[in-house]
Amino acid sequence: MATIHGELKPSPRILLGPGPSNVNSRVLKAMTTPMLGYLDPEFIKIMDETADMLRAVFCTKNTLTFPVSGTGMSGMEAALCNLIEPGDEIIVCVKGVFGGRMADIVERIGGKLTVVEAEWGKIIPPEKVKEALEKVKAKVVAIVHAETSTGVLQPLDEISEIVHHHGALFLVDCVTSLGGQPVDLDGRGIDIAYSGTQKCLGGPPGLAPISFSQRAMEAIKNRKTKIQSFYFDVNLLERYWSGEQRAYHHTVSMTMVYALREALRIVLEEGLEARYARHQRNADALKAGLTAMGLKLIAQEGYRAPMLTTVAIPDGISDANIRKALISEYGIEIGGGLGDFAGKAWRIGLMGESSTQSNVLLLLSALEKLLSREGYKVESGIGVSAAVRIK
Ligand SMILES: Cc1ncc(COP(=O)(O)O)c(C=O)c1O
């Protein structure tokens, strides 16, 4: 006899990790909208509206802007497998886990990989990209905007100029930054960008917004070999997501498109500038509070991402005890360290709906209480008072 398990009843959580972030109830409600057929004219209108609002958030006029089915990683795979043919010279900037994953995928596709590296916690200096481009005639230069493993926000303008000066395409991972920091595809000359729905866009995980410039599309049309992936082939996806005559490619998740559409409506109602300012303000308050408590921020000063803060775990403090107690006593999730920072850092996300002043103050007081219990010396209330001084 099969066991019929109980109804779903997860405990309430404040999601302050590296994603997913909390989802607005309007988005959850949109997810209960009934299914439509994948070529129903009403669904096509919903797809067009979603793509239109995505263009506004990416700040682009690129026709080929749509959400790829799958999480952020599907955006990474789709971006790389459409552009790269076996033997193509590709430069990947690696300063954390996600740059490392792009490099891995380039090799799987058969691209000739050149890695430009920076120490974990630091940005990639533009001169290093220039040096690499002087050595190899690269087709694509790929970089992560907000590296979620280190909390570094990579400046893009100078690198974009260098990349275009050398005739390469500029590919940017905006999984963590989109909706929380300006990405500005057209202004910055980004040719291909992909993101995820579950971070600063404030949706559930499951779609990867992506955008290809005209130049990127030309490079794809000029390929000599067939795109290895059927599922991610943008020539086929284009016929489903744009144009007068739509053709079936795969059954998209209507539910996820409804969710993204509602999340984008919320982003645009708030306004991009106001949203970026909110992310920055709450991050400044969190960073001020953590610093006042004597904790050490890891990411390079001046380049700290507002949506993800990495903080060193003080000596003698148990990573597991603190994170377990945050969940069980306060319902708060924060992230553990990833890659080189595993066991050494916490990753605190303030993304989308989760980026609020009350979450910052609650986390700082919870951390103070739990750290003191573990024997860490911290003056009572010092983190919260530093945070509330940030306007
Ligand atoms: C910068 C970056 N790129 C890619 C990904 C992969 O996204 P997903 O886990 O949604 O597949 C993540 C996830 O955290 C990320 O932070």
How do residues 269-323 score in pLDDT, each as one tens digit?
Answer: 999 999 999 999 999 999 999 999 999 999 999 999 999 999 999 999 999 999 9
For residue 81, the model assigns a pLDDT of 98
What's the average model confidence in pLDDT over 339-346?
94
Could you tell me where in the chain the CATH 3.40.640.10 domains are found?
Answer: 25-269
* DSSP state letter for 17: S
Mutate to test the pocket of ligand 1, among 77, 92, 97, 98 (most ligand atoms within 8 A of CB): 98
**Class of residue 205 by CB neighbours under 10 A (exposed 0-12, middle 13-18, buried 19+):** middle
Q: pLDDT digits over 12-55, tens only?
A: 999 999 999 999 999 999 999 999 999 999 999 999 999 999 99
Cα(17) to centroid(ligand 1), Å = 12
Could you tell me where in the chain the CATH 3.90.1150.10 domains are found?
Answer: 271-388
71 lines ligand 1 (CB under 6 A): yes
Cα(175) to centroid(ligand 1), Å = 6
Cα(72) to centroid(ligand 1), Å = 5
- Tell me, which fold does domain 271-388 have in CATH? Aspartate Aminotransferase, domain 1 (3.90.1150)
189: left (phi over 0), alpha (psi -120 to 50) or beta: left
Under the banding of pLDDT at 50, 70 and 90, the label for residue 115 is: very high
Q: Which of 265, 290, 373, 359 is nearest to 325 (CA)?
A: 373
For residue 96, which atom of ligand 1 is closest to its CA? 1
Q: What is the CATH number of domain 25-269?
A: 3.40.640.10
